[in-house]
């Protein structure tokens, strides 16, 4: 599935994921179960972020392709706040990987260029849209003090497993480009520990400003008006 022509919207939800009408008095061990679900959701969110980081390394042979992937991914969430529980953490991971591992290498930026892995990454589009859409849905339920049905969490985990299997086939490429799971994973896991809390940033650093700075090279494209219009349409 191509990521060039349109932005995928997360209209597929985990089956049987719903807000539970029961209170802690009606359901034994409700508090303990919800705590376990938060921990599982945090683990799954960290996995999704790790896969995003790996794709960034896959595309790092061409900066334009890498930034277009980041733009596509964050465009998917539309009006979701950049400092929200899910999108905020995903953006921090993108920012961290880009500034810590990729930008210092001064990789090539070609106007109109394309990574040799772009077509491969394009096949991940549906998996990422389901993964991010499912994560947003799960967290929204947990934030309302609800309960996600076990089949819903299992279904989401299976979706991420499919994405992991696809990435495994290209891991030798991402590792050759500098991806090291053992180096990046601790940072991501720690970021997701307080899942339901918003991301805190210094008051002078507005996330939208950082987002535009990150994607600034795309404004040099020949289709500059289209790029600027796309950035403005995010409304985040």
pLDDT in tens, 113-163: 688 898 999 899 889 988 888 999 998 888 887 888 888 888 898 889 999
Helix (H) or strand (E) holding 55: helix 30-58
Cα torsion at 75, 79, 84, 89 (round to 10°)? 0
Are 213 and 71 contacting, i.e. CB atoms less than 8 angstroms apart? no
Q: What is the DSSP string of 131-173?
A: HHHHHHHHHHHHHTT----HHHHHHHHHHHHHHHHHHHTTHHH
Written as six digits, the tokens of 39 are 């921990």
Q: What is the pLDDT of residues 8-49, one digit of tens each?
A: 444 455 554 544 444 444 455 767 888 888 899 999 999 999
pLDDT band at 51 (very low <50, low <70, confident <90, very high): very high
How far is the C-alpha of 236 from the C-alpha of 152, rounded, in Å?
28
pLDDT of 77: 67
């Amino acid at each position: 599935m191509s990521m060039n022509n349109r932005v995928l919207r997360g209209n597929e939800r985990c089956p049987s994921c719903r807000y539970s009408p029961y209170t802690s008095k009606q359901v034994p061990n409700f508090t303990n179960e919800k705590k376990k679900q938060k921990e599982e959701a945090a683990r799954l969110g960290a996995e999704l972020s790790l896969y995003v980081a790996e794709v960034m390394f896959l595309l790092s042979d061409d900066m334009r392709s890498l930034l277009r992937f980041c733009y596509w991914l964050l465009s998917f969430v539309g009006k979701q706040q950049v400092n929200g529980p899910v999108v905020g953490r995903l953006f921090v991971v993108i920012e961290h990987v880009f500034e810590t591992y990729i930008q210092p290498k001064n990789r090539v930026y070609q106007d109109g260029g394309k990574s040799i892995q772009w077509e491969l990454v394009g096949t991940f589009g549906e998996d990422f849209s389901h993964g991010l859409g499912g994560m947003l849905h799960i967290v929204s339920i947990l934030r309302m003090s609800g309960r996600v049905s076990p089949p819903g969490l299992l279904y989401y985990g299976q979706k991420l497993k499919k994405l992991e299997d696809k990435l495994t086939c290209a891991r030798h490429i991402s590792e050759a480009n500098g991806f090291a799971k053992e180096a990046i994973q601790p940072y991501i896991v720690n970021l997701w520990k307080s899942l339901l809390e918003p991301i805190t940033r210094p008051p002078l650093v507005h996330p939208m400003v950082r987002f535009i700075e990150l994607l600034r090279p795309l404004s040099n494209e020949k289709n500059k008006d289209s790029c600027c219009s796309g950035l403005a349409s995010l409304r985040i």
